[in-house]
Each structure stands twice: as structure tokens, then as C-alpha cells.
Structure 1
Amino acid sequence: MFIKSRVTSLLLPLGCTLLLACSPQQAQPPSGITTLTTLYNFDHGDLPDALKITHGSVESTEKSGNGQAKITLHSKSHHSASFTLRPYSPWQWNSMGEFAFALDISNPSGQSTQLYATATDAKGHVHNRSFVVPAHSSNTYYMELRGADLSTDSGLRANPKQWQSSAAPMIWRHGTKQLDLAAINEISFTVRGLLEDKTLIIDNAQLVRANQIDPHYLTGLIDKFGQNAKQNSEYHVASKAQLIADKKAERRTLAQGSLTDRSTFSGWKDGPKLQASGYFRVAKYQNKWTLVDPEGYLFFSNGIANVRMANTSTLTGYDFDHSLIQPRSGNELTPEDSQGLNRVPDTAIKSRKVASELRADLFTWLPDYHEPLGKHYGYRRSVHSGPLTQGESYSFYRANLERKYATETQPDFMQQWRDTTVDRMLNWGFTSFGNWLDPDFYQLDRIPYFANGWIIGDFKTVSSGNDYWSPLPDPFDPEFAKRADITLKRVAKEVNNSPWCIGVFIDNEKSWGSESSLEARYGIALNTLSLPDGDSPTKARFTQWLADKYSNIESLNSAWNSNYPHWDSIVQGVQLNELNASVIADLSALTEIYASEYFRVVNAAVKRHLPNHLYMGARFADWGMTPEVRAAAAKYADVISYNYYKEGLDSDFWAFLDQLDKPAIIGEFHIGATDSGLFNPGLVHAQSQQDRATMYTAYMNSVIDNPYFVGAHWFQYLDSPVSGRAYDGENYNVGFVTVADRPYTPLVNAARTVNSELYPKRFK
């Protein structure tokens, strides 16, 4: 049993608040860091009341006479668990210079732990970061809260380390970089979506500053192969000759072929055979949902997504005279970030100029446009985020493919790459590709795949209040159905009724809403109800539904506890502030009406143009879906798709599958580490390439063991550009291969093992 000690709050001349346990002891900081003040330590069994635990436990412990807090987080039976430092009154850090919050963390277990760190100010703004605590490790982890890096928009999702210190930075995720430092309410650390409980030991919550920073941390980062020029790894290449040697060595391995228990279409040849339809379908077998291949064999889709050139380019910091660039067309069927390089016309090249010195200085080499490797330049007419709104791009990966595969006798390096890629998939044991496959693979007839399409066009939109990628379409606008039909007609032409096509994904990660609050859950309905009927077909449909339910305005006012003078108030748009039970029930119904129309329209287009193929839904992000939207998808999608970036499928989050009882598939997941030379591991952190392999195995086994899932797709085939992909700066170690097209051996070996046991484990 431990003794809780009340913590004393002292106001310092600096303007920060010093919170000390009963017996404060200054800790020895890691190299390169100076401690400004200690907020908490845990000496002599003292645990401050400010330490709050959610779904876990804490006890006092001691090491070498130094008190610590041992925290166990029970995320196995809960989707998330956390520990939080919350003072009695907000911390006042506005008078500090450049500084960071730091915490000593030890991990005594044999598995790494990813933590999501969030600082929240009194205005409700949040500053989100994440980091990994390696197995059997101890270190200091810091969250920079004031510094030049926070106001530097490099166009990278996470910048390289600027502090010259042995302490580890928490990696920026999202939120507000510039918090109100005059009133910080709390700093929390959370684990999410874990497959087992986690134990950590914490000590010395402090404010610290760097003794020295690297003024050139954003200069000369990228070498001529697109690799990190400042950090070597065993996967780096130093020459074209090394790339060619890789190709020759790998060909000997790939010649060994694929697993022997596979049917023509990669189904389970050694398992039971169901009715064959000539195309892929879904069925229940022994109370488990499954895909069935065209020959009738049980099929589980394990594959890799985003095998294409579209997201391989990075912004160079150069631009051209915009009058010489062809503008985007309103009739495009594919968003620009999913298109190819889109090279500028030759007439524009002479106008090339530096548009961002910061971006241009990232590179140690870029080719001349007239050099052979100059053909890998492209252009982005719009981007999601970063210091530029448009500009020149370059694909180092594509350039490396030419260096590696092009010969005088076989100059078509892209065909060599496609053949090698399929050989890899089969040799590594994968049964299919995932989403976002280059259509040039569609007619190779060697491995099953999924087609994809986007519905874009000049139709009206609605908002959930958090339109991360873009606003939502208005499915009641006739233009939306028209564009859906055009899109699916194009996809059907690409597929050409191929039995190798399992199904089609349409759209991706739309911001349908979340269950974080009532306002977030019903944002589509709330925002749409505020619009005039004449401006929004969806709003007009909502008004009609309300009129059908409530015969007059008095009935609606009685149910909603409102006082609208006449029905025209609803027609012109209303702002709902009080959400009583009747309002919530109506918002729920309206949300499902909206989502049902979206999925109905898309499903109709799929079945009209691809009647023999499965409709795979819109790939829900776990942060952007609600029960109403999932229920709507269940009515029309053959398989419901989810992108889920966690360590595995925890039972708490996925309990809703029992209610839907529909086949499901993971559209995206990944795990990354910074020993690759990339500055950002991705959305799920591992401590090393070997740890990636271990975590991959655990994730896949959690999917294979779930009776509702019929597959899982890793995102993506290759790492993001080290300098960030052109569209939004993602610079993640998420590939099975590097920018130099070198496979990550531990991950490949893990996939081979999982895939060799796939069917017996799934259908045991």
C-alpha cells in the first residue's frame, strides 16, 4: 500500500508553476538538456494526487533510492487506457523561453509500447504527439512546447531531430502547435488498441531546454537516391551498381515461386471446396465470414495496398509560371494525388524558379530536366498541406527503378518492376493486392486484386464539421449519381469483367463523424439542418422527413422543446443548441438517411457496371465513423471496409461487429520505425525493423482469428518519401520496400511465416 502525498504549488518568478512531491530531488538530466524545473517526482513512496489513471493501476516503486511510479495500463479489455498529470490549477508557462515538457520513462517488459501524448490548454486546444518506448529501455522523452521548429512549416509530417541530446523527441501528430502556455490544464499519455496490458515506470516530470540545437537540421537531408543523407542504415544503397546487384540476387530468390497450398486464384487448394461462381463472392463457412474464389475455394485477402507511382513524388521547392501550367479540369475522375507525375509542358521549364528555399535546401541532388533521370519530375497543382500550395515534384523511387531495371535490351523498366512486384507478392505468400493498385496490373492475370475509384465532380457537398480530407458529397444532388455512374463505367472498362478482380473500393476515409461527442456524432445532420432547402438537396430531404414525421410546427416544437414560429423556419435553416432525447433520435435518423443514400447510389452504380464484383465500401477511418453510418453501409456494401491503425483488433472497439454481422476487411494498417532513416515511423510505432515484424505478426493474427474479417491490407508497398509525399508531407517508414526498392528482410520473413500458416489458422 502506498501513501498519497498532497503536492504543493509554488509560483516562480518565471511565471511557471512548480509542483513538488514532499521530498523533491533533482534528477540528473540526459546529455544535452538542462532542467528548468521539476514538476513532479515520486520519491519516498509519494504519488501526487495530480497523477490520474484511467483503466489501469499505479503503485510506488524505488530504484537505487529514487522513487518512481509503476503504471499498468489495462488496454486489453479497453480500447484505450491512460495516465494523466493534471494540476490543481493550470500550469503557467507563458514566461518561459524555448522549452519542452519531459518525462523519464522505463519499459521493463519485452515488448515496445507506443504512447500518444496530448497537452491541453484551458481553451480546449490540444497538442498531440506520439512515440515508442522500446522494450527493456529507459530514457527521457520530451514534447517541445515553445521553439523555432514549432513555427517552421517544412512540408514534412515530422521534422528530423533538432535538439542535440540523448533524450528522445515525441513525434508531432496533429492539433495546435502554439498552445496557450499561460494555462495548461493537463498532459496525458494514452495507449490505444492494444492486444495486451502495458507496464511502464515514470519519473521526473520536468520542464527542460536544449543546450544546443542543430541549425542545419533541415539542410542537405536527401541524397541522390532519395535516402536520408545524414543517417545510414543497412538498407541504404551507395551506387547504381548496388541496385543492379540487388536485382540479380533477388531474382534467384523469387524463382523459388509461391506456396504450394494455393489454388489458381490464391485460395486454399488444400481446404474444402464450395460452389464455384466464376467470380469472387462472400459466404459463411463454419460461422466465419469468408471470401470464396472463382473456383469455389476458401479465400482470405492478405495483401499490400498502394502499389503505384502516384504517391512516390515529393515537392522540390521549385515552381513555374502558373500561366504556363494547365489548370485542373472539373471532369477529372481521379484526384490529383492519385494520378501520375503530371509533368509540366516543356514550354514552362524555362520559368523554373525557387518557390521555397527551405524545401529546395532539403536536397543534395536534383537532375537537370534534360538528363535521362529528369523524366521523373512531376507537378502538383494543389496540395493538402505544407509551405507551398502547388509546385514541382520529383519521384526518387521511380528514378531508382530506372537505375535498377532499365537495360538496353529491356528498356521498359516499369514492366520489369511490375513483374518483379507480382513475383514478390506470390513469393512472400500474399493472396492479393490491396486497394489503390495501378490499373496496369489489372490484366496480368497472376494474382487477385481490388479495383478502385473516386467520385469527384461539381456536385453539392455537406459537412460533418471536421472535413479532414474534403467535404462530404451531397448524395441527393442528381449530379452525384451522374458522377458515380461515370466513375464506375471507367472502372468497369479497366477491369474488363476480369475474374481476378475481387471487388471495388470507392472513395476513402470520409469524415462521417465520430463518437467523441453528440455534436461530432451528428455533425452531418446538425450542419445540414442549418442550411436553406434551396442550397442543399440533402437539407430538402431532411425537411421532407421531418414534415412527414411531424404534421405541423407545433408537434415539432413540442418534441424538440423549441419555439419556431412556422415551418418556414425549418426550410430556411435552424441551429440546434439543445439536444434532448427527441432531437437526438431525429438526428440519428437523419444521419442514417444521408449515409444510406450515399451507399445506395454508389452500390447501384457498382452493380450496374460491375455486376460480378463485390462492392467493398468506402474504407472507414476509425476516427471518422458512427453507428448510423456503419448501419447504412451494412445495407448496401457486400463487404464493409475499415482502416485501423493500431497494434491489433482489440475486442472492446470491435464489439459492434456482432450487431452488423457483415463480412469486414481491414483496408489499411501499418507499423514503422525510425531506424530506417525516415524521421517518422508512421501511425503505429515500433522500435526497430525486427519489432515491426513482430508487431505485424500479432496484428495479422488478431485479424485472422476474428470471424467477421475476410482480409487485411498493409499500407503501403514502399516507404513514403523521406522528404514527405507531395500531397501532405507524410514521411513514414511504412513500406515493405525502401525508396531504393530494397525489401525490409524482417518484415518480409514475418509475412512469409504468417502467410504459410494463413489458411489452416483461419479455418482450423
Structure 2
Amino acid sequence: MRRTKWGGIADDCFRGSGFFRVGERDGVFWLVDPDGGRFLSKGVNTVRFDQDQVGNTGRVPYADACRKKYGSLYNWRAAAANRLASWQFNTLGCWSDELVSAAGSSPLASTPTAALGASFRLHRRDEIFPDVFDPAFPGHIRESAKNHCTKRRNEARLLGTFIDNELYWSPDWRGADELLTLFLNLPSHRPGRVAAILRLEERYREFSQFNAVWHTRARSWEEFGTIGPVEAPFFRMAPGGLNDALETKANLANPTRAAFFADCDAFVAVVAEAYFQLCVSAIRAADPNHLVIGSRFGYQPHPNVIAAAGRYLDVVSFNCYDFDASAVIDAYAACGKPCLISEFSFRSDDSGLPNTNGAGPRVESQIERAQCFERYVSAALRKPAVVGYHWFEHADQPAEGRFDGENSNFGTVTIEDEVYAELTQTMTRVNEAAEQLHAEAARTV
């Protein structure tokens, strides 16, 4: 099977444009590499020499080990790039050292994260989600996109840009709050709170009708704009669309509950529309040559959010730490755009690491870990919308815990840079056959 220098299949299905783009053949989505190759993005996250310092210390065990092993950062980059290519990976995932992409004998595509919304939120410490209604938000997004993307606009190696990482769209492992209640609990002068109240006023003719659903202690819209905190009268059965049938049943049994969640779902749709429209247009103004590959959804949001993402993005990206991503892929693919699994992993308890902090399933052995990778990727590739998968991550985390306490066996290599043979041998075999397996998805369309 003849491949381009990028790792794409050179079978004349598509024409090259000098940059990565999206293609479709027989109802199956593909990426198209700069030379016209039929391409799937097979990536590894956090490919970097200075991965994971221990807690709040300055110690980076992986860098210490690699300095002894390779002698220099330059030598490590070349070794890491060639090793990834030997495992049939073709992409550097999030948080990677982009210089690795050109350090080996074959180029690796890069997928940096612009952190547009997150960087705005960090200016407003009381925000969990960036206030898209703030008059300063559009200017910040445009300037951030310009600073991050303009310098890369002519790079063939750039596959595309992630807008953000795991923003809080809806209840997930971080909390039970709705985006609407978060905005209603901003300080009274914040534009997001004002906008949230205005939208509720539009949905209800009288404050008494609103209060029959929300049960606040306010007696008027004016008073509601000054009180706090606003407490949610109901909570989801489970986050991420996992219990849609139970949600529907509960709402049918309680029209007041249904009205509350209808308010929440309508609001998050407005926020998503503003967020994706502003961010995507800003990136494309700064860099018209490359794909905009989503905001790495951390947990499946409401269909309204996915639909808004699909209206603007080239590729919808999401992180999924299940044993099988098939149902989640279907939920995102409903928007009609190709999908990229931007983060997944499995960790094994025979690694000697605590594995007490970190996402995703734990298994007993490295053999089982490799089997989980094969089952997960093989099932994903049978979905016509999938155009790539990025493993989290390159090296194991320190046993003492990194900045957020994670201490898990996510690596393709140990913290001493020793290769996990069972995992990487399976990765090599699956990656090599990925395009053939994905092409067979046409038979199920």
C-alpha cells in the first residue's frame, strides 16, 4: 500500500491542496493530507521532553531520565519522532512539542490548542465558562486567534487548530450545575447574568409564571436581578446524555421539571452559537488555510451544543474514556461533520503506578490494556464520521502526582522512557490497518 510522506494512502482518491482538508468518499469521511493522501489522524498527546513536573515542585522525572538517555533535547526529539512513526502514528496531539513534528525522518502533523475561550475566562476569575455576552469577548477572541494562528498559516504540517479544551458545557464530573444557573450566579453587573435574565424574561410572560418553575425567593424580575445565589430546582439524572430515557420519563411525569430543563437547553444553545461563530470566524480570519478541529468536548453536551458546533467547525473533536466510544460517536456525528477522538486511554494496575487519579478505565495487565486499545479503535473506525483518534498520552505520569494529582499509567512509555511492548506492538498493527478498516465503514452506511 503506497503512502505519501505524511502517512496518507496514495491512491488518487483525492487531490492535494498543500494543506490538510476534509474529504468524503462513498459516504465515509476522511482527512486529506497536503499531497492528496487519504488520511486518518493517528496521534499521541503530550509528546514532550518536559512532561509532567511533580506536584508543585520543579522536578520533571521524565526529562531527567531522557537527559541521561539521549544527552540532549535535540536527540530526544529525533528519537521520539522516529519511534512514533515506527508505531505508525502520524500526528502530534495536544500539548506536544511542535518541533518534534520535523525532527524525524517522516513529518508528523501537529494539532495545537489555541485556548481562546479559556484564556478569556482566566481574566474573569468568577467565570467557569467564558462570558460570550461580554462586550470584550469578541475582541479578545480575535486578538488571541491572531496571535496564535497567524504565524502558522503557511505551515503544511499543521493539521488544524483546537479552539479550547474541555470547557464546561453541562453537568459532568466537575459539577451538577447547568450553564444557565452558572450565568445567573455571576455578579449582578456581569453581561452574562444580564443576558441570561433577559432570555428568561422572553420565555415567560409574567414573573409569577417563571417563579412557578424556578421557585426563587424573588418577587419580581428586578429583584431577581439582584439576589443570589440562584439555586436549581432540579438536577439531571446523569450527565452526558447517558440517561436520556430516564430524563424523558421524569420530564413527562413532571411538567415543571421539563420547563426548567427546557430553559437550560435553550440558553446553552444561544451560548454555543455565539461561542462557535465567534471563535471559528476569528481563527479563519487569522489562518484561512487550515482546519478548525473543535473544542475537545470533555463530556457529551446537549444536542443543541453539538448542532451549533457542526454549523461552524470543519471537524468536531471530543474526549471519550469509555471502553467503547460507538454511542458517543453517533451522538456527535448527528451534526453531519467528521469527528476526531481527541483523547482516550486505558491504564493498567501492573504498571506499579497508583492509578488513583486520572480518567478512564483501569485494567489488570498491559496485555489487557493493548486489547482495549484494539477494540476501542477498531469499533471507532467502523463509524463513517471518524477521521482520527489521539491516545493520551506519550509518557506515564509521576507516581507522586502531576500538577493536578494525576498519577496514572497512561503512557506509551514509562517515566524512564522504556517502551510498553504489548501496547505499542498492538498500536503499530492497528494503525497500519486503520485506513482499510475505515474504508469498510462504507458498507454500513
Shorter-normalised TM range: 0.7 to 0.9
How has the CA–CA distance of structure 1 residues 715 and 559 changed in structure 2, closer, same or farther, with 3 Å as cutoff? closer
Q: Structure 2: which amino acid aligns with 1:506?
A: I
1:71-220 equivalences in 2 (<5 Å): none
Structure 2: distance between partners of 1:730 and 1:559: 41
CA offset digits 1:666-715 (Å, max 9, x no partner): 11111121322222285322222222222211111011111111110000
1:460 and 2:117 are equivalent in the alignment: no
Q: 1:691/1:478 Cα in 2 relative to 1: closer, same or farther (>3 Å)?
A: same
Q: Is the 8 A contact 2:3 2:37 kept in 1?
A: no
Provide the rounded CA distance (Å) in 1 between the counterparts of 2:263 and 2:157. 43
List alignment gaps of at least 5 residues for structure 2: 235-255, 441-445
8 Å CA contact 1:595, 1:629 repeated in 2: yes
Q: Tell me the residue number matched to 2:194.
A: 540
Matched ranges for 1:541-560 at <5 A? 541-550=195-204, 553=207
When the two structures are aligned, how many residues end up with a matched partner? 409
Structure showing the higher helix proportion among its residues: 2
Answer whether contact 2:46 2:392 (CA < 8 A) is retained. Answer: yes
Q: What is the aligned partner in structure 1 of residue 147 from structure 2?
A: 490
Structure 2 counterpart of 1:704: 381
Give the TM-score normalised by structure 2.
0.83
CA distance in 2, matches of 1:609, 1:543: 34
How far apart are the structure 2 equivalents of 1:656 and 1:591?
Answer: 17
Greater relative CO (CA pairs within 8 A, separation 6+): 2
Aligned equivalents of 1:590, 1:459: Cα separation in 2: 23
Equivalent position SS for 1:476: coil
Q: 8 Å contact 1:459–1:479 — kept in the other structure?
A: no
- Say whether residues 1:729 and 2:393 are aligned partners: no
| Uncovered stretches (5+) of structure 1, i.e. residues with no partner | 1-259, 316-390, 407-412, 464-470
Give CA deviations for 1:407-466 in whole Å, capped at 9, x if unaligned: xxxxxx111111111111211111222222213335558121212222325543666xxx
Matched, 1:395 2:60: yes
Q: Which amino acid aligns with 2:438?
A: R
Q: 8 Å contact 1:313–1:395 — kept in the other structure?
A: yes
Q: Which among 170, 175, 180 is matched to residue 525 of structure 1?
A: 180
Which amino acid letter does the alignment assign opposite residue 352 of structure 2? G
Looking at structure 1, the residues matched to 143 and 113 of structure 2 have their Cα atoms a distance apart, in angstroms, of: 13
Q: Give the counterpart of 1:448 among 109, 117, 134.
A: 109
SS at match of 2:31: strand
Match in the other structure for 1:286: 26
Counterpart of 1:427? Answer: 86
Name the structure 2 match of 1:618: 295
Aligned mates of 1:305, 1:716 — CA distance in 2: 5
- CA change 1:598–1:461 in 2 (3 A) is farther
Question: Is the aligned partner of 1:598 residue 2:255?
Answer: no
Q: Distance in 2 between matches of 1:661 and 1:554?
A: 41
Deviations 1:156-206 (A, max 9, x none): xxxxxxxxxxxxxxxxxxxxxxxxxxxxxxxxxxxxxxxxxxxxxxxxxxx
Show the 5 A alignment for 1:347-362: none
**Aligned-pair CA distance for 1:501:** 0.6
8 Å CA contact 1:678, 1:732 repeated in 2: yes
Match of 1:671 in 2: 346
Whether 2:318 is the aligned partner of 1:634: answer no
Alpha carbons 1:674, 1:687 under 8 Å: kept = yes
Q: Which of 437-446 and 611-620 deviates more?
A: 437-446
Tell me the equivalent position of 1:268: 9
Match of 2:240 in 1: none
User: Judging changes above 3 Å, is the alpha-carbon distance between structure 1 residues 580 and 758 closer, same or farther for their aligned structure 2 residues?
Assistant: closer
Give the greater-gyration-radius structure (CA).
Answer: 1
Change (3 A) 1:402 1:493: farther
Which residue in 1 is equivalent to 2:159?
Answer: 502
2:5 is matched by which residue type in structure 1? Answer: T
1:569 alignment counterpart: 223
- Structure 1 residue 632: deviation in Å? 2.7
| TM-score for the superposition, normalised by structure 1 | 0.50
Which whole-Å CA distance do the structure 2 matches of 1:562 and 1:400 have between them?
58
C-alpha distance in 2 between matches for 1:485 and 1:430:
33
Q: In the TM superposition, what are the counterparts of 1:333-352 in structure 2 within 5 Å?
A: none
Percent of matched pairs sharing the same residue: 29
Do the aligned residues in 1 keep the contact of 2:325 with 2:376 (CA within 8 Å)? yes
In structure 1, C-alpha distance between the alignment counterparts of 2:41 and 2:85, rounded to whole Å: 13
1:475 aligned to 2:215?
no
> Is 1:584 matched up with 2:297?
no
The structure with the greater share of residues assigned to strand is: 1
More deviation, 664-673/590-599: 590-599
CA apart distance, 1:576: 5.3
Deviation, 1:586, is 2.3
In the other structure, the counterpart of 1:404 is: 69
SS of corresponding position for 1:739: coil
Aligned counterpart for 2:42 among listed residues 302, 311, 318? 302
- Matched with 2:421 is 745
